[in-house]
Amino acid sequence: MSKTSELSVGAALIGRRESGRWPARMDFLQSASGLFLALFLWVHLFAEASILLGKDAMYRVTIFFEGYYFFGEKYPIIITLFSAFILAFVLVHAVLAVRKIPVTYRQYRVLRDHMKVMHHEDTTLWWVQVYTGFALFFLVSVHIYTMLSQPANIGPYASSDRVVGEWMWPLYVLLLITAVVHAAVGSYRVGVKWGWLPARDAALGRKRLKWLMRGFMIFFILLGLASLTTYVRVGLEDREPGERYVPTWERTATETGARPEVTP
Amino acid sequence: MTGQGEGAARRLTIDILRYNPQDPESRPHMETFELDEAPSMTLFVALNDIRDRQDPSLQFDFVCRAGICGSCAMLIDGRPGLACRTLTSSLGERITLAPLPFFELIGDLSVNTGKWMRAMSERLEAWVHSDADVDLTRLEARMEPELAEQIYELERCIECGCCLAACGTARMREDFVGAVGLNKIARLRLDPRDQREDADYYELIGDDDGVFGCMSLLGCQDVCPKELGLQTQIAYMRRKMLRAALFPG
């Protein structure tokens, strides 16, 4: 063998070793990106639930994320940048997860028949992931695009107008349910996949994790629906079109509805 | 054992998927047999009764009738299980039996698990790799009892094939080594006589046909007749193989 061909064989072998590490990295990245997105979703749902504490509370949360408490000024561009960051995670997660979905009719048929005779909960849960994941491709895209393009239109009135006036509420109901289910089931599956369980005994850990999964699903769907209903209620209030919310502490006496003192 | 109640003798109806691939005339079809349930009857006993009294051409496998040989695995009401370990009293009056999917069908309920298991063992090099000279006149090297116990626990696998028949991943992607293969590597990895490192095991199971192909559907864990901790073993191997990939050498 000549020196050059030896070298190229060596390079190919090194290349193979390198590419051989990707299945491990991809499997881990799929779990890690999913877990990060689930955590983000839960924080997001709490943040938007601030409307349940009143319009001022939601206003405070909005300007917090716009950097007001750090820079003394509101920068909606932060929302755009963060949305792009989340979008990147969604893309990575989707690309990695899509590898596992049945791609041919044969695979699809075999899996469906298998599920039909097995009646096996965890297999069915994975199928739930396939469906919700597929739906999220479309639902999340719309939502993130809105956040990328109109970062300044977040607030007690602006968000409510989007929900009601721009007819986003049906999409948000679907997005809420699919995202919460996908995140809860996914987190459970990450737990059993890597053996990160809330008990030493694997069977007990799995059982507990499944209870947590159900609890998270119910809690966050209820929380999300409560928030969404509140935004709908605010959106239905009688207001000037495009009016922005002014927090109580910035209002003049007339705006707060207090009777102006009239000096005789 | 349960189901031995007085006057509880039921009339069982057993639907069996019949097909003989050797016979060009044969077409897959369900055939129904009826028999009286006996106390402590297992499916293994019921099938023998049917073969003895009703249809001698019925094909199914058994050797040990005690859950050790793993040859009587079949789909029992859709779920993989061992016929010899399944009491008819644990099932309804109407029972459906079918051969294990995934494996080559020999005929009726009999499948060739051995052929697949052998190919898998060769592919995973599932034997102790050692270049140490073996001196047969000397006592074997000692091993801590706890370690021997751990190895024995994984060694209990009888290669019945239930884990593969229950695995959605294996059903979709036939090159997947399944829980039985990953369990074998986990067992050899524990064995101090096997001189291979994690990097070597990574070459065998570090891809989507191996541990990273597993989608954690846990069908294997839930049907294993030997109740092996497959969920734990696969998760453990996944962590070890990830480490081998991220921090080589």
pLDDT tens for each residue of B121-131: 999 999 999 99
Give the ipTM of the model, two decimals please: 0.91
* 3-class DSSP assignment, residue B31: strand
Structure tokens at B68: 């050790």
Condensed to tens digits (0 to 9), the pLDDT of residues A53-95 reads 999 999 999 999 999 999 999 999 999 999 999 999 999 999 9
Structure tokens at A178: 């699919």
Q: Do A20 and B166 touch (CB under 8 A)?
A: no
Task: Give the closest of A117, A195, A206 to B236, CB-based.
Answer: A195
Chain A partners of B242 at a C-beta cutoff of 8 Å? 24, 27-28
Chain B partners of A24 at a C-beta cutoff of 8 Å? 202, 206, 212, 241-242, 244-246
Q: How confident is the model at residue B140 (pLDDT cuts 50, 70, 90)?
A: confident
Q: Do B168 and A189 touch (CB under 8 A)?
A: no
Chain A partners of B241 at a C-beta cutoff of 8 Å? 24
> Measured between alpha carbons, how far is residue A123 from residues B80, B169, B215 in Å?
14, 10, 9
Neighbour tally for A262: CB within 10 Å: 5
Condensed to tens digits (0 to 9), the pLDDT of residues A144-174 reads 999 999 999 999 999 999 999 999 999 999 9
- The mean pLDDT value for B236-246 works out to 95
Mean pLDDT, all residues of chain A? 91
Does residue B244 contact residue B206 with C-beta atoms inside 8 Å?
yes
Sheet-wide strand order for B29-36: B29-36, B11-18, B94-98, B73-76, B79-82
Instruction: Report the pLDDT value the prediction gives residue B141, as an integer from 0 to 100.
Output: 85
Q: How confident is the model at residue A264 (pLDDT cuts 50, 70, 90)?
A: very low
Q: Is pLDDT at A9 greater than 70 in this prediction? A: no
Q: Is pLDDT at A13 greater than 80 in this prediction? A: no
**Cα–Cα dist A110/A124, whole Å:** 14
Mutate to test the interface with B, among A16, A35, A117, A127 (most CBs of B within 10 A): A117
Please enumerate in sequence order all residues whose Cβ is within 8 A of that of B82, keeping only pairs 6 or more positions apart, or say none: B67, B70, B72, B73, B160, B162, B225
Please provide the DSSP assignment of A46-96 as one string: HHHGGGGG-HHHHHHHHHHHTTHHHHSS--THHHHHHHHHHHHHHHHHHHH
Q: Is pLDDT at B1 greater than 50 in this prediction? A: no
Q: Do B248 and A202 touch (CB under 8 A)?
A: no
Residues of chain A that touch chain B, judged by Cβ-Cβ distance less than 8 Å:
17, 20-21, 23-28, 99-100, 102, 107, 110-111, 114-120, 122-123, 126, 189, 192-195, 202, 206
Task: Give the closest of A20, A27, A123 to B168, CB-based.
Answer: A123
Does residue B178 contact residue B211 with C-beta atoms inside 8 Å?
no
Condensed to tens digits (0 to 9), the pLDDT of residues A198-251 reads 999 999 999 999 999 999 999 999 999 999 999 999 999 988 888 999 999 988
Instruction: Report the pLDDT value the prediction gives residue B49, as an integer from 0 to 100.
Output: 96
Instruction: Report the pLDDT value the prediction gives residue B3, as an integer from 0 to 100.
Output: 47
Distance from the A106 Cα atom to the nearest Cα atom in chain B, whole angstroms: 8
Residues facing residue B81 across a β-bridge:
B74
Task: Give the closest of B75, B214, B235 to A195, CB-based.
Answer: B235
Instruction: Report the pLDDT value the prediction gives residue A18, as an integer from 0 to 100.
Output: 60
Condensed to tens digits (0 to 9), the pLDDT of residues B35-67 reads 999 999 999 999 999 999 999 999 999 999 899
Structure tokens at B214: 């597993």
Q: Which of residues 201-230 of B touch A (CB under 8 A)?
A: 202-203, 206-208, 210, 212, 214-219, 222, 229
Distance from the A235 Cα atom to the nearest Cα atom in chain B, whole angstroms: 43
Instruction: Report the pLDDT value the prediction gives residue A240, as an integer from 0 to 100.
Output: 87
- The mean pLDDT value for A96-125 works out to 94
Q: Which of A13-22, B64-73, B88-97, B110-119 has the lowest mean pLDDT?
A: A13-22
Which has the higher per-residue pLDDT, A259 or B26? B26
Instruction: Report the pLDDT value the prediction gives residue B23, as an integer from 0 to 100.
Output: 94
Task: Give the closest of B222, B236, B242 to A120, CB-based.
Answer: B222
Q: Is pLDDT at A2 greater than 80 in this prediction? A: no
Q: Is pLDDT at B2 greater than 70 in this prediction? A: no
Does residue B239 contact residue A195 with C-beta atoms inside 8 Å?
yes
**Cα–Cα dist A244/A242, whole Å:** 6
Instruction: Report the pLDDT value the prediction gives residue A8, as an integer from 0 to 100.
Output: 61
Instruction: Report the pLDDT value the prediction gives residue B70, as an integer from 0 to 100.
Output: 94
Structure tokens at B51: 């073969």
Q: Tell me whether strands B11-18 and B94-98 are parallel, antiparallel or unpaired.
A: parallel
Instruction: Report the pLDDT value the prediction gives residue A227, as an integer from 0 to 100.
Output: 98
Q: How far is CA B217 from the centre of its chain?
A: 16
Distance from the A202 Cα atom to the nearest Cα atom in chain B, whole angstroms: 7
Condensed to tens digits (0 to 9), the pLDDT of residues B191-214 reads 999 999 999 999 999 999 999 999
Neighbour tally for A69: CB within 10 Å: 10
Distance from the B171 Cα atom to the nearest Cα atom in chain A, whole angstroms: 7
Instruction: Report the pLDDT value the prediction gives residue A20, as an integer from 0 to 100.
Output: 82
- The mean pLDDT value for A107-122 works out to 94
Q: Which residue of B has its CA nearest to A115?
A: B168
Q: Do A21 and B79 touch (CB under 8 A)?
A: no
Please enumerate in sequence order all residues whose Cβ is within 8 A of that of B131, keeping only pairs 6 or more positions apart, or say none: B195
Condensed to tens digits (0 to 9), the pLDDT of residues B151-193 reads 999 999 999 999 999 999 999 999 999 999 999 999 999 999 9
- The mean pLDDT value for B12-21 works out to 97
Instruction: Report the pLDDT value the prediction gives residue A256, as an integer from 0 to 100.
Output: 53
Mutate to test the interface with A, among B172, B173, B197, B207 (most CBs of A within 10 A): B172
Q: How confident is the model at residue B34 (pLDDT cuts 50, 70, 90)?
A: very high
Instruction: Report the pLDDT value the prediction gives residue A12, as an integer from 0 to 100.
Output: 60
Q: Is pLDDT at A10 greater than 70 in this prediction? A: no
